[in-house]
Amino acid sequence: MKRKLSARQMQMIALGGTIGVGLFMGSTSTIKWTGPSVLIAYAIAGLFLYLIMRALGEMLYVDPDTGSFSKFASEYIHPLAGYLTAWSNIFQFVVVGMSEMIAIGGYFEFWWPHLPSWIPGLVAIAFLTVANLISVKMFGELEFWFSLIKVVTIVLMIVVGLGLIVFGIGNGFHPIGIGNIWQHGFFTGGFKGFIFALSIVLASYQGIELIGVTAGEAENPQSTLVRAIRSTVFRILIFYIGAIFVILSIYPWDKLNNVGSPFVETFAKIGITAAASIINFVVITAALSGSNSGIYSASRMSYTLANNGQLPARFLKLNRHGVPFYSVVSISFGIFLGVILNAVVPMFWPHAENVFVLVYSSSVLPGMIPWFVILISQIEFRRQHKDEMANHPFKMPLSPWSNYLTLAFLLLTLVFMFFNPETRISILVGVLFLIIMTLLYFLKFHGKVKVS
């Protein structure tokens, strides 16, 4: 493959992977559990995600390769761990890509109510497939601009919100202040509600590890990866915490269900009459970004599986631009299949939309698998690379104790997700997926896998 991803592209890829549609659409799923203390939940989750990224960065600095954390799992844990990691990543991003393409059909209905919902999904997936096949640089450039649109929108929302809070701009110059943060309760759901919210918040950061998949195609990988990892987590924290702080300051947390999209309402308050159309455009780009990243990441993981002899050799075939052709086309077809099923299945099964919600939520546990293997792999990696660690400039802080603490945190959140009725089924479906893939590995590949 070709190293064509620049530092600016990689930073935006990591940012774009975790800033999704949910933030723009004003999702209140986390706020309803714990109120304004959700800000602390985002900060805690962000701290542990930073440690995970540092563990990944330590290994990537020595070995920046395509499909990195799957490769590390095979080398430093067991080939089964690498197999499960790659398939978990593929499953996660195909399912997320399906949901994003299905959602795009709904967003276009805002402007064209009678347009069949599958047409925008078909056009979008065709466009993204061609872009990913042209070159990795094209993928990186698309993702840079998709992510930039999201970032600029969040920054403008924070600026406009602060204008409302501090100067009362859009409110007759009567400052709103930040009293709503505590006047209606702070830890509104108690300890249980806070932990439930924390688990959902943690899931919202999924995709941040995408920067590890890009390692094999990054220009000057050592310096590029270090800069990207150092800046990305803190920027994500600023955007998430900043936007939610503004929202919770302007709107009482227990009234958010009546607001619709806080982004739309905040822009509308200062007289931007086209706010709804602007935010609709932004969430379309956010959906395109999610699917674009999904095609890239899942195709590189299928390439890694083929490289280990766990998929047919045709998935190793690169086109003249250095892109794994069959991998990209297969992942894109899988995502498109979801769009078609979404249009066809309801004709025969009226309650089919619940199945798609269930499948989407089942990606939460597989999406966390890379985090577990990164933390466990890094411990063994350090044992096997003692010479390189002597002058390593980007070590994981306080390892291995920080690894153990982060692993305990991830396990705790999974336990609470099981006890939460709203997330229990998704965890069980994720467990079932991992069991099936484990059985498949032992039936087909045990003792036959090469790790390169």
Give residue-wise pLDDT tens across range 5-61: 766 777 677 666 667 665 665 456 678 888 899 899 989 988 998 899 899 889 988
| pLDDT > 70 fraction of the chain, expressed in percent and rounded | 88
**Is the model's pLDDT at 142 over the cut of 50?**
yes
Nearest to 204 by CA among 377, 45, 75: 45
DSSP 259-290: TS-HHHHHHHHTT-TTHHHHHHHHHHHHHHHH
**pLDDT for res 171:** 82
**pLDDT for res 357:** 61
Tens of pLDDT, residues 396-415 = 999 999 999 999 999 988 98
Tens of pLDDT, residues 281-326 = 988 888 888 888 889 889 989 998 998 888 999 999 988 888 899 9
pTM higher than 0.85, yes or no?
Answer: yes
Q: For residue 27, which phi and psi values (nearest 5 degrees)?
A: -60, 135
Which amino acid, one-letter code, is at 168?
G
Q: How confident is the model at residue 391 (pLDDT cuts 50, 70, 90)?
A: confident
Q: What class has domain 7-444?
A: mainly alpha
Top pLDDT among 84 and 200 is at 84
Helix 68-76 to helix 38-62 angle (10° resolution) is 70
Burial class of residue 444, CB neighbours in 10 A (0-12, 13-18, 19+): exposed
Tens of pLDDT, residues 240-259 = 888 889 988 988 888 877 76
Tens of pLDDT, residues 60-101 = 888 877 557 888 999 999 999 999 999 998 998 888 888 888
Find out whether 35 and 191 touch, Cβ atoms under 8 Å. no
**pLDDT for res 452:** 46
Strand pairing partners for 324?
318
**pLDDT for res 7:** 66
In the chain, where are the structural domains located?
7-444
